[in-house]
A = this chain, B = another copy of it.
């Protein structure tokens, strides 16, 4: 616990100390603020109060202020937050100022939809590799990207060409693919196969489970 002086310099203390990882819900809200700030920027707003940001995001203004103050003192009392500046700060926090190399595994319908998803490149996520196990697909290309065998993943990862892997394969091969990604040194995975998949510590996996989403709707409908 060394290094933290008793002085009131919170900014310095915050920068010097290890900041605990934000919770998943904080990060989710941050993503929301980021997008909304883009809208405000397009509307040529210079500054914005937490109240207005909160309104659009569908949360309380205290929540907005707490979320932001976790990462620094971005606002100015009496004024609010500078729209462009805050957006840039959040981009930095979320890692959206970088170029991320993404490998998509699974060249089926879902894979194709993800490959064509326009928002990804806008946020710095570039699907530069498409992999599959089906010999019929290997060698064909999507918009200039040639589909290669999933066995190539370790090589691509070793050459530093993959930051994030998207798993869009059928459920029965999902765990195998995830294991391959992990053993290749990948540390971030977006999984579309239903069910929890085992990953060691240090590997972040996010699940997009369409069945669960639908089930929560049917739960809402069934009286």
Q: Which residues of A contact B (CB under 8 A)?
A: 21-22, 24, 27-28, 30-32, 34-36, 56-58, 93-96, 98, 100, 108-110, 112-114, 116-117, 119-120, 123-125, 163-164, 187-190, 194-196, 204, 206, 208-222
A210 to B209 Cα, complex, angstroms: 11
Contact B94 A215 (CB under 8 A): yes
Contact A125 B94 (CB under 8 A): no
Contact B56 A214 (CB under 8 A): no
A34 to B218 Cα, complex, angstroms: 14
Contact B214 A190 (CB under 8 A): yes
Q: CB-CB < 8 A to A100: which residues of B?
A: 218, 221
Contact A222 B94 (CB under 8 A): yes
Task: Give min CB distance, A209 to chain B, whole Å.
Answer: 8
Are A190 and B215 CB-contacts (below 8 A) given A221-B204, A222-B98?
no
Q: CB-CB < 8 A to A116: which residues of B?
A: 109
Contact B206 A213 (CB under 8 A): yes
Are A93 and B219 CB-contacts (below 8 A) given A116-B109, A210-B208, A213-B206?
yes
Contact A211 B109 (CB under 8 A): no
User: When A and B form their complex, which 5 residue pairs have the shortest distance between CB atoms, in order from nearest?
Assistant: A95-B222, A95-B218, A204-B220, A113-B113, A109-B113
Q: CB-CB < 8 A to A110: which residues of B?
A: 113, 117
Task: Give min CB distance, A60 to chain B, whole Å.
Answer: 14
Contact A98 B211 (CB under 8 A): no
Contact B109 A27 (CB under 8 A): no
